[in-house]
A and B are shown apart, each in its own frame.
Chain A
Amino acid sequence: MTKKNKRNSIMGMAFFGPALVLLTVFLFIPMILTVVYSFTDYFALSPDTTHFVGFENFAEIFGDDLFVQSFLNTVKFVLIIVPLQCLGALGLALLINKVSYCKKYFKVAFFVPVVMSLAVVSTLWMQIYSPEGIINTFLTNMGFDPQPFIHSADQALPSIAIMSAWQGMGYQMIIFLGGLQAINPALYEAAEMDHASAWKKFKDITLHELKPLCVFVFITVTIGAFRMIVQPMVMTGGGPSNSTYTIVYDIYETGTVNWEIGLASAMAVVFVIFVVVLTIIQNVLTKDKEGKNENKK
């Protein structure tokens, strides 16, 4: 190793070192511990009596109705919010890209919910969804029946998904907007000369050019949706009838409230494996298509 290289590597370590220590203490060690604890019956109140239990925790959680329900709730939430939020963000970006007045105002207005705390947004929407809230008052005045929203097992999860999409889509909108502005106007001009319809232009130019961004947005929204906990915690406490109880909420309650760290760790491991597998599948599927498109060219 030359003197310069050595100095560079010391410099590199000096910059990287503090982050590495923090990452090790707060990320890597907890991650390893979570995996190890998932094979034990670690109980927070009596750590001395911890035993290895093999796959017992995993067998228990898959036989646990509540975990299965929380898993299904989470999947249901993801299935509702991902298209809603991705398409919503794309729609908003397209609209803002078109308007010429108050562009900045709309950008800020749609982005504001993103910077607001989820707890605050959830509290606000509890009022909006309440039996005598603004939506129900409107419905009643229009001659419709008032809806229970977050107080009904059928409507609670979709209601939370709509609120979450509203809260989060501003961020993806900004990403799409950046993508839209980066599209070469010459492409549209060429299409115009070929008398391409608006739909054709959107499909073959806009969507095509935005594809890499769509993949990114799709994956980040999916992962974010799987991690949902704040909204049900604030708005419904997981109810009614566990209809808004999510995996992360179950992990939190099992570990923190019920003190069963071993069981909660097993849930976390299952959750991580599921999300990683899903992300890999998403990546492979979207990559394949890109590859095919490349070949077509």
Chain B
Amino acid sequence: MKKVVSILAASAAVCMTMLSGCSRTVSPGDIEGYDEGEQYLSLWVHIIEETPEGQAYLKSVNSFNEHYNGKYFADVEFIPRNDSGGGYSDKVNASVLSGNLPDVLTVDGPNVAAYAANGIIQPLAELTDDEKGIYLDSIIEQGTFNDKLYALGAMESSVGLYYNKAILREAGIEVPEAGNPWTFSEFLGILERLKPIMEEKNGYALDMTFPVGEATIYYYAPFIWANGGSLVSEDGFETDGYFNSDKNIETMKYFRGLADNGYMSSVPIQNLFESGRAAFKFDGAWEVNTIYTSYPDIEPGVAPYIVGDEWDGGRYTPTGSWAYAVSSGATDVEGATELVKWMSGVESGLELYEQTKSMPSTYAAYEQISAFTDDENYKALYEQLRDYGHPRPKTPAYPQLSSSFQKSLENIAISGMDAEEQLNKSEERISEKLERYTRK
């Protein structure tokens, strides 16, 4: 039987090698710019080369090769990732089996833990405090697993609680400062005041949905943290007593209250906020640009993310984006780490902002971009990220955690199912998936 398995495993490896592209040995002179005496470093990114983001990566790689001419040569390969998450990750998975991983690859922030726990990526070479200090805390947090730094990104992200200034003026509502956000109870009071006004406008106080996919945990897990809960233990291997804690049950019930009281629509209505029919909306930082360019009649503001009534001032707001990590197949970890540092550095972040308007990962980049110093909305989003940014849960079972969170939230808030039962059911499911790691 074992023989049959080995034959099949071998044929699988052959197939995977064919799919992942045969490992190639690159010699100096094979590629333009790769000269004798240089260390070859392969890099995979998840974007199409012809996109603005792809061009930004290409530019950063070229400048790396120029800077380290004679020492390192980075060769970038663009492997598009499709909307459902396949493509790039399929190639990474196939390469794990065939052993053809590149030296450096891009990893989505929440997947760092799974990749690290399964030995696909290895810790970066030691960075000095000064080197680490250029990055926002959220970037270091996102890339750290088991007290080791695995990944650094050039991009960060944030979600804003946007409000329609005209509507809040009409209702006589003042927005608090960043350090003093509305609490859950205060926010309910505000929504109650807005409800009749919004009903007159054929709308809702809150433009909020719980879509399938990553957005739900990204936007709404902060409610959990800001209410003193968490989704997973510190080491990422336990969910019992965390995911299904009393605090989380309470938070889930809060969401249900928002739907039950008619502060939000139970079915998604397109462009509710953008058409002036919602006073508040949770959305990514890109929403600012969307409103500025496509909905000039709306005057948006960014309010601080709301917090639990007993919030202790801790970090809680959404963060996270793709990052660079050194694969376990890399032999020159020092060189690969240099490439990671370069690709996630200030210049790369500025280039990415230039091309895609994505939020950078370094303090220095923010200081050089006028939008983050002059525009009140972009500034608020940056300050929220800088002072209160919290990474998504770090656990190897992140995909299950993310989908379970969305399903629980949808079932509890929209379908009115029992919060405790739903969280317990989801927790069991995630726990089962974590057994793979805990029984080792």
Binding site for B on A (CB under 8 A): 25, 29-30, 32-33, 36, 41, 43-47, 52, 65-66, 130-132, 148, 151-153, 233, 236-242, 252-253, 256-260
Contacts and interface: CB of A to CB of B under 8 A. Distances in A.
A153 B433 CA distance: 27
B90 A152 contact: no
B212 A131 contact: no
B97 A47 contact: yes
Given A30-B15, A130-B270, A258 B86 contact: no
Contacts of A241: 407, 410-411, 414-415, 417
Contacts of A65: 425
A131 B410 CA distance: 18
14 contacts: A29-B12, A45-B96, A46-B118, A47-B97, A130-B268, A148-B267, A151-B267, A151-B268, A233-B84, A236-B212, A237-B213, A240-B410, A241-B407, A241-B417
Interface string B180-209: 000000000000000000000000000000
Contacts of A25: 15, 18
B119 A131 contact: no
A252 to B, nearest CB: 8
Contact of A240 (B89, B114, B270, B415): B415
A26 B415 CA distance: 42
Contacts of A236: 212
Given A46-B118, A46-B119, A237 B211 contact: yes
Interface in B87-130: 89-90, 93, 96-97, 114-115, 118-120
A43 B268 contact: no
B212 A237 contact: yes
A45 B433 contact: no
B433 A131 contact: no
B22 interface: no
A242 B5 CA distance: 36
Contacts of A240: 410, 414-415
B266 interface: yes
A239 B266 contact: no
Contact of A43 (B8, B90, B436): B436
Nearest to A243: B415
A256 B115 contact: no
Contacts of B410: 239-241
A66 B425 CA distance: 11
Given A45-B96, A256-B85, 16 more contacts: A29-B11, A32-B8, A33-B12, A36-B4, A36-B5, A43-B118, A44-B96, A46-B118, A130-B270, A131-B269, A132-B269, A151-B266, A153-B415, A237-B213, A240-B415, A259-B399
A241 B265 CA distance: 17
Contacts of A233: 84
Interface residues of B toward A: which range? 35 or more
A210 to B, nearest CB: 39
A36 B9 CA distance: 10
B50 to A, nearest CB: 21
Interface string B402-431: 010001001100110100000001000100
B69 to A, nearest CB: 36
B400 interface: yes
Contacts of B399: 257-259
B390 to A, nearest CB: 24
Contacts of B96: 44-47
Contacts of A47: 96-97
Interface string B265-302: 11111100000000000000000000000000000000
Contacts of B5: 36, 52
Contacts of B93: 44-45, 259
A36 B85 contact: no
B15 A256 contact: no
A153 B417 CA distance: 12
A259 B86 CA distance: 11
Contacts of A258: 399-400, 433
Contacts of A152: 267
Contacts of B97: 44, 47
A138 to B, nearest CB: 17
A131 B8 contact: no
B114 A45 contact: yes
Contacts of A131: 265, 267-269
A257 B417 CA distance: 26
A114 B414 CA distance: 34
A64 to B, nearest CB: 8
A295 B311 CA distance: 82
A225 B40 CA distance: 50
A104 B269 CA distance: 39
A256 B86 contact: yes
Nearest to A232: B212
Nearest to A252: B84
B413 to A, nearest CB: 11
A259 B4 CA distance: 24
Contacts of A29: 11-12, 15
B36 to A, nearest CB: 35
A43 B269 CA distance: 39
Contacts of A252: 84
Nearest to A60: B432
A-B CB proximity, top 5 nearest: A237-B212, A151-B267, A45-B118, A44-B93, A46-B118
